[in-house]
């Protein structure tokens, strides 16, 4: 591991909460695609599978920021454990509904309950911010966390799809629930690195979404999330059309691997100048990378195209974390990070559901039009909101990029 990354773990407790975060985030990549695989295996209905995945994402979009807001006020341990318990009970109900062929509406009810799962990635990034706020180490920490996200997306779909296709259909989502339980319990047991809570009185009880810059990020990432949701569903269907459904996990892993490689390199770099142009360039690169998917004719070509497309993901996400710190008060940092995840979740819901309908109507190759259109929308929203995003934000505390004058540049 390069020395900037190795230096991160000099802080006591950093290895423990990072490892717990890895386990706790595995469901992020396993649950949605696992449900798609499970339902398509049991019923053959991709529209239903996409609808359930969309329901989970929308429920997470509603519940996630509220959970994180409570975390900012009361602390991670007091909030994460009950929220996780609700999500685990709902996951158990979802698996039973699918296995015993209960009515479709029960699948949607339990899928909504699964959406109460907390944003573990935001919790881990908040711990890094508490350790390294105002130093160049925070850029490296955020880059490392983006790499961990992609590691989850490399191995998560492989494990989830593989188990559901080779063992039994419910195996992937079941293991995802187990990872969530272990990861959250382990994380919340580590009290020494838990960020101090900020009572409501310290920030007036308002939501972090009042910040104009955060609004632009969330709006743009709705369209970006639609790219991710559509790519997942369409790739599974495309692989099935090619007669190799199990290969979808490998192809999606290469998509994440491209982002992982880019994130590792990006974390070693230090940038001068404002982060906003880099962010907009990343959004444009993500959109352009969707165009080759419209031309795919076989799985090898698709794998190469997705690997290249993945190269723009991690740098864009890392820069987004930096912009959140510019526009959100320190006492609302976890909520601010979760709002971006919420935008992604809403987009994933839209992308997965729309692509499912397109697949059912016109086939998998036509489904790749959904991420292409979503990318174009993301670029349009990014350009329209760029002025609000680049407008100087008031000094709020905990803003890493405020140290740019000293060349201690943070890009996260």
Flag whether the pTM goes above 0.75.
Answer: no
Inter-CA distances, 380 with 9, 219, 385, Å? 40, 11, 9
392 part of a folded domain: yes
118 part of a folded domain: yes
- Residues in the chain predicted with pLDDT less than 50, given as ranges, are 1, 201-204, 395-412
239 part of a folded domain: yes
Cα separation of 233 and 112, whole Å? 19
411 part of a folded domain: no
Structural domain range at position 347? 3-406
pLDDT digits (tens, 9 = 90+) for 19-49: 998 998 888 778 877 888 888 888 777 778 8
Q: How many domains does the chain have?
A: 1
Query: Angle, nearest 10°, between helix axes 313-327 and 212-241?
Result: 160
CATH number at residue 239: 1.20.1250.20
Cα separation of 72 and 362, whole Å? 46
pLDDT digits (tens, 9 = 90+) for 47-103: 788 788 778 877 887 888 888 888 888 888 888 999 999 999 999 999 998 888 888
The number of beta carbons lying within 10 Å of the beta carbon of residue 50 is 33
What's the confidence (pLDDT) of residue 150? 76
What's the confidence (pLDDT) of residue 200? 59
Cα separation of 77 and 123, whole Å? 11
412 part of a folded domain: no
What's the confidence (pLDDT) of residue 320? 86
What's the confidence (pLDDT) of residue 2? 53
What's the confidence (pLDDT) of residue 375? 93
221 part of a folded domain: yes
């Amino acid at each position: 591991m390069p020395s900037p990354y190795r230096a991160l773990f000099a802080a006591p407790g950093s290895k423990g909460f990072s490892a717990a975060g890895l386990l706790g985030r595995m469901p992020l990549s396993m649950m949605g695609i696992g449900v798609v695989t499970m339902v398509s295996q049991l019923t053959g209905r991709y529209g239903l599978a996409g609808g359930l995945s969309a329901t989970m994402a929308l429920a997470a979009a509603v519940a996630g920021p509220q959970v994180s807001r409570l975390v900012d006020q009361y602390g991670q341990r007091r909030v994460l454990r009950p929220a996780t318990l609700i999500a685990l009970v709902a996951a158990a109900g979802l698996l039973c509904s699918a296995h015993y062929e209960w009515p479709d509406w029960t699948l949607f009810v339990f899928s909504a309950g699964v959406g109460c799962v907390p944003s573990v990635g935001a919790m881990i990034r908040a711990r890094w911010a508490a350790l390294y706020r105002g130093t160049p180490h925070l850029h490296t920490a955020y880059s490392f966390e983006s790499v961990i996200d992609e590691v989850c997306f490399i191995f998560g779909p492989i494990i989830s799809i593989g188990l559901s296709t080779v063992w039994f259909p419910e195996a992937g989502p079941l293991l995802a629930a187990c990872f969530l339980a272990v990861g959250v319990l382990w994380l919340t047991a580590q009290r020494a690195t838990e960020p101090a809570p900020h009572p409501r009185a310290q920030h007036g009880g308002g939501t972090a979404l009042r910040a104009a810059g955060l609004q632009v990020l969330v709006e743009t990432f709705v369209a970006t999330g639609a790219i991710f949701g559509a790519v997942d569903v369409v790739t599974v269907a495309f692989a099935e059309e090619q007669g190799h459904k199990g290969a979808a996990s490998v192809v999606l892993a290469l998509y994440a691997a491209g982002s992982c490689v880019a994130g590792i390199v990006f974390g070693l770099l230090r940038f001068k100048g404002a982060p906003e142009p880099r962010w907009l360039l990343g959004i444009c690169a993500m959109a352009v990378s969707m165009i080759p998917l419209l031309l795919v004719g076989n799985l090898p070509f698709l794998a190469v195209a997705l690997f290249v497309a993945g190269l723009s993901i991690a740098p864009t996400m890392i820069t987004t974390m930096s912009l959140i710190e510019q526009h959100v008060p320190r006492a609302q940092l976890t909520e601010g990070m979760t709002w971006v995840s919420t935008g992604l979740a809403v987009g994933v819901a839209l992308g997965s559901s729309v692509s499912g309908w397109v697949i059912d109507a016109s086939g998998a190759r036509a489904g790749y039009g959904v991420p292409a259109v979503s990318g174009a929308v993301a670029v349009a929203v990014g350009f329209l909101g760029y002025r609000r995003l680049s407008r100087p934000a008031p000094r709020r505390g905990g803003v890493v990029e405020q140290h740019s004058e000293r060349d201690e540049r943070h890009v996260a």
